[in-house]
Amino acid sequence: MASNILFLPFRRTHTVSLSAAIRQYISSKYDQHPDMFVTDLAAIDQLRADAVNSLEPHVSGIKKLTAYAAQLVWIGGKFPIDIGVDFTWYPALGYNTQKPVSQNNLRFELANVLFNLAALYSQLAVSLNRSTSEGLKSACNYFCQAAGVISHIKEEIISDMRSSPPEDMDTMTLESIQQLLLAQAQECFWSKAVKDGMKDGIIARLAAKVSDFYDQAAEYGTKSDTISTEWIHHMTAKHHHFAAAAQYRASRDCLDKQNYGEEVARLRDSIVCVNEGLKESRYLNKIVLGDLNGLKARVSEDLKRAEKDNDVIYLMPVPPKSELKTLDRAGMATARVPQEISDPASTLGEGGQFGQPLFAKLVPYAVHIAASIYEERKNRMVNVNIIDEMEGLTNKLRDLLQSLNLPGSLQALEKPLGLPPSLTSHAEEVRQQDGLHRLRRSMHETSKLKANDMAIYQEGVDLLRSEAAEDDRAKLKHGTDRWNRLPSQQAAEKLYAQVTEIDGYLKSAASSDDLVKAKLKDCEKVLGVLSGSDRDLEEFVPSSRRATMTPNVERAAYNLRNMLNEVSRLESRRKRQVEKMRDKAKRDDINEVILAETARLEREMPMQKIEPANFETLFEERLERYDEDRKLVTAESEEQDQLSAQLKEANNTFATARKGDSSTRDREQSLQKLENAYIKYKEIINNLNTGRKFYNDLANIVTRFRDGCKNFAYQRRVEAGQLESDLSNAMSVLNLSQVTSLQDQKQRETLRSQYSAKAPSSEPLTAPTPTRAAVQPPPPTAPTPGMWNPEMGIKFGGALEQQPNGDVHNPAYPSAKPRGGQWDMNQGVRFG
């Protein structure tokens, strides 16, 4: 049914199972079983069904939509924004209302639900009886709430969506809709003021503000690609209509104040504004057009009377428009966000109109993120700042022993025949662990893990390259103007960043693998001896004659042996400390503490979204328990420095006492080689264990990367197919609707140029001049004397005065005296 005000249409959607996605997410990401939330899962689906099916202008729909919106805001703190369900919605405005948009995004779902709430408010306003003061008051309130919801979508929802909004929810479109709703709210208030018989001066200020709102709505509409030209013409006409109405009411106020000259000036300007509005008549419905014509008739009648009275009786000067005081504005319409939308906390919980929040007993998603952040910080502190530091100290001590040729030099002297006990125990340990075979087998397994990771990673890279190549071929085929979707690198920016990141991981790991292989190659021959039989060891270690030990040598050897025992005790103690630290970190479970902190936050700040940053203070306090362990590293370093100095001094004394004795040199070298090989063996085992863990962890990363590439490539192919189908249809079918669409686009561009180059808002807009399509003229024929021919044209009695803009119709105030170019009935009509 035709009306002089507009309403927002509803957005449509498909049925989706939000509960299934939530169930799956709880099952895979949370420690709690989804069966604990069977009631909540059923409730969320019912809430959505009630909300998306509220497509009638009835007040019951408000509660259904706001209840679902409140729960969406609440569960946004429990689950990630990409919960795992594609919400499909059809645009409400524009030329693609039959083309659905799908996003795996809870904020996208919330934006669409709130848009429908704004549409419901606007349709409720239109459905009311606006012939009564009470109906106008209610309609104004509904329009203000609709504008408030649109403002909330624009400022709070779209900015947090983390994805591109639908085309009819871009900034210009939402601004135009908001200004339109405010204009119609202000118009209702103006109508109530007229009906209640308020003073003309007040009504004039109200009408001026209505005109401003419509002007802003039309201006934003011309910058939007989805606001239809019919709406833009409607808003433009209403802008001029209320500018005229404001001047008309101001003229009546002037009449009351006996300002007769200003009365005439304002009535003339009112006529100009009405005529500007009537230039949109071909695009307007009968009601809006009737309102304009009715206003014109009234203003024309008053202008005729006012001019006659002033010319005959009052003789007051009529000021030009530039000297008229700009009308004050009385803005009564404001965007009011309903409390259920601005503060959903007040609607949920004890005493809330929408009952208890769903999934209240589920640990928020941010809490899991916070727990993982703490685990990462704890592991970095324990492993890097404590354990790695202590192991580094131990390696530094071992390097010192090797540089001093210890313990080989001392073992050769103490036991010139047979094998030292420490060497025997080392050899037995290597043999029990299968020595070289274990290392080779472990390296082979690590290589297989690496090859598997490389294959999965390469599969993902190939998918990206293939998709990019397909996109490039499509651009060459259709051209970049028509094939205007985002390039592959921009559409999958995170995936392409992962390509470089994972490639760096693999190159770094390959460098570490080469280093381990080099270590094994250097000591492989000696390790073969160490993992062999005792006979092999005895053959490798030559015997030496028993040296005569002088008291000085015996005393130096005794001191050096004590120092080596101190080194052994230090290493054993550190090994126990490292194991103790690992056990302490393993038992450090923050889950119970973080859950208690979450409960406190939810009590003190209900409905405020829980963020990992809320737990920073807790993290700092919790990590203080490792301060003593970090101090222990410093103490160990200081103790080792003292022990190293004493060891060097004892070794120097020992070397000085044995100066000139080379009887055990060969045995010393052999024993030291075996000792160094044992140390390298332990290092290689640690390196291989680290490498195996690295490649196992990397497998999860590259698998997620490959799956992401698969999903991206699939989505892009579906999108490409749809785009190619649209382009094919556009090229093969040129029907009437497409012609109309092109005409609409031209009209939109014309309106845009008018608004971008228009004069100040107080000046009326000039409607575009209609043109005829070119028609091939018929062959010229000789004119019949005395008969008029269309080719002759019509000439009036006076000469036409050419206007500067080339148009004989100048939208200015009508002059009291006839000018050249106006037809005088006394001069008749003369044919050319």
- d(C-alpha 127, C-alpha 148), whole Å: 19
Structure tokens at 87: 């919400």
Minimum mean pLDDT range among 22-26, 393-397, 540-544, 688-692: 540-544
Cα→Cα distances 162→82, 485, 497, 538, 676, Å: 10, 18, 18, 72, 57
Given a cut of 80, whether residue 374 has pLDDT beyond it is yes
In this prediction, residue 773 carries a pLDDT of 42
Q: Phi/psi of residue 130, each to 5°?
A: -90, 15
Cα→Cα distances 234→147, 208, 241, 615, 758, Å: 18, 17, 10, 54, 18
> Residue 770: which pLDDT band, with cuts at 50, 70 and 90?
very low
- d(C-alpha 798, C-alpha 808), whole Å: 14
Q: Phi/psi of residue 50, each to 5°?
A: -65, -40
> Residue 738: which pLDDT band, with cuts at 50, 70 and 90?
low
Q: What share of the chain is helix, strand, coil (3-state, %, to 5)?
A: 70, 0, 30
> Residue 417: which pLDDT band, with cuts at 50, 70 and 90?
low
In this prediction, residue 487 carries a pLDDT of 87
Sheet strands (E) in 190-284: none
Given a cut of 90, whether residue 406 has pLDDT beyond it is no
- d(C-alpha 540, C-alpha 618), whole Å: 60
Cα→Cα distances 645→293, 565, 598, Å: 107, 15, 53
The H or E element that residue 794 is part of is strand 794-795
In this prediction, residue 762 carries a pLDDT of 42
The tokens 């963020």 sit on which residue? 611
Is there a contact between 183 and 329 (Cβ–Cβ < 8 Å)? no
Q: Phi/psi of residue 731, each to 5°?
A: -80, -30
- d(C-alpha 450, C-alpha 695), whole Å: 6
> Residue 769: which pLDDT band, with cuts at 50, 70 and 90?
very low
- d(C-alpha 551, C-alpha 553), whole Å: 6
> Residue 523: which pLDDT band, with cuts at 50, 70 and 90?
confident
Give the percent of the chain with pLDDT over 70.
83
Given a cut of 90, whether residue 10 has pLDDT beyond it is yes
How confident is the prediction for the chain on average, in pLDDT? Answer: 83
Minimum mean pLDDT range among 12-21, 61-70, 494-503, 784-793: 784-793
Q: What is the mean pLDDT of residues 420-443?
A: 81
Structure tokens at 696: 């196992």
Q: Phi/psi of residue 96, each to 5°?
A: -120, 40
Residue 592 vs residue 101, higher pLDDT:
101
In this prediction, residue 798 carries a pLDDT of 44
Q: Phi/psi of residue 257, each to 5°?
A: -95, 5
- d(C-alpha 91, C-alpha 553), whole Å: 96
| Closest-CA residue to 59 (of 368, 338, 352, 358) | 338
In this prediction, residue 241 carries a pLDDT of 96
In this prediction, residue 736 carries a pLDDT of 47
- d(C-alpha 763, C-alpha 269), whole Å: 10
Minimum mean pLDDT range among 17-21, 41-45, 291-295, 717-721: 717-721
- d(C-alpha 554, C-alpha 574), whole Å: 30
Contacts of 498 (CB under 8 A, 6+ apart): 705, 708
In this prediction, residue 772 carries a pLDDT of 41
Q: Alpha-carbon torsion 186, 189, 191, 193, what sign? A: negative
Q: What is the mean pLDDT of residues 480-507?
A: 86
Bridge partners (DSSP) of residue 90 are 12
In this prediction, residue 240 carries a pLDDT of 96
Structure tokens at 64: 């259904």
Q: How many Å from the N-terminal Cα to the C-terminal Cα in the chain?
A: 49
- d(C-alpha 184, C-alpha 248), whole Å: 20
Per-residue b/e over 696-722, b at no fewer than 16 CB within 10 Å?
eebbebbbebbebbeebbeebeeebee
Residue 699 vs residue 550, higher pLDDT:
699
Structure tokens at 622: 């919790």
* Cα atoms in the Cβ-side hemisphere of radius 13 Å centred on 123: 18
Is there a contact between 416 and 667 (Cβ–Cβ < 8 Å)? yes
List, as one string, the DSSP characters of 109-170.
HHHHHHHHHHHHHHHHHHHS-TTSHHHHHHHHHHHHHHHHHHHHIIIIIGGGSSSPPPGGGS
Task: Summarize pLDDT for 76-111 with one digit per residue, the tens.
Answer: 877 888 888 999 999 999 888 899 999 999 999 999
| Closest-CA residue to 277 (of 815, 765, 752) | 765
* Cα atoms in the Cβ-side hemisphere of radius 13 Å centred on 815: 7
> Do the strands 101-103 and 87-90 form a parallel or antiparallel pair, or are they unpaired?
antiparallel
> Residue 408: which pLDDT band, with cuts at 50, 70 and 90?
confident
The tokens 């170019």 sit on which residue? 821
Structure tokens at 821: 């170019």
Minimum mean pLDDT range among 8-22, 258-272, 428-442: 428-442
Can you give the length of the chain in residues? 832
| Interaxial angle between packed helices 435-478 and 493-530, expressed in degrees from 0 to 180 and rounded to the nearest 10 | 160
In this prediction, residue 549 carries a pLDDT of 64
Residue 360 vs residue 293, higher pLDDT:
293
- For the CA atoms of 587, 591, 593, 596, the dihedral, rounded to the nearest 10 degrees, stands at -160
Given a cut of 60, whether residue 47 has pLDDT beyond it is yes
Task: Summarize pLDDT for 190-215 with one digit per residue, the tens.
Answer: 999 999 999 999 999 999 999 999 99
Residue 478 vs residue 225, higher pLDDT:
225
Sheet architecture: strand order including 87-90: 12-13, 87-90, 101-103
